[in-house]
Structure 1
């Protein structure tokens, strides 16, 4: 009985996480603007645009892009910041001490 409840809750958690992953991916995809256009200087050639699209997998179908993105996230690869051109995970870790400090103060005040 307890084992069955554990597996039901585990399955529910996995389905929820998969649903959240889909929502996050869709929100990223419907954001206005072309990420490739933001990364390249104005007047970039069509070959440069095609090469960068292929590098980031944006030349593939939506479903394939989702599973490539999901595999990257599961392996700790959150991609590259378009504006800063740095690894996103590194940016998060650089700001983690200040975030934890603010969270601790907020928790103590609550």
Structure 2
């Protein structure tokens, strides 16, 4: 009985029912699409960041602590022979991190 009344109301208001179903389906599809697109953009950004910043990995001096700027001066030395061989083959490059001051004017 209740199903018959609901079906009669839906069929009686054809255009309004069709528009409600269409807008609801379109909104649901759009929400799923945007969610998937943002997730894909986030994954791509993480991959690009890893590729550009650390590529195949990083070798840090044993005394280097990126969170302690007071150890910058003590955390440098000549690269070990294995790392120097990679530098010579252009498969790695050394980066010297040191403190600096910028004065205006």
Higher RCO (CA < 8 A, seq sep 6+): 1
TM-score (norm 1): 0.32
Higher relative helix content: 1
In the superposition, the TM-score normalised over structure 2's length comes to: 0.34
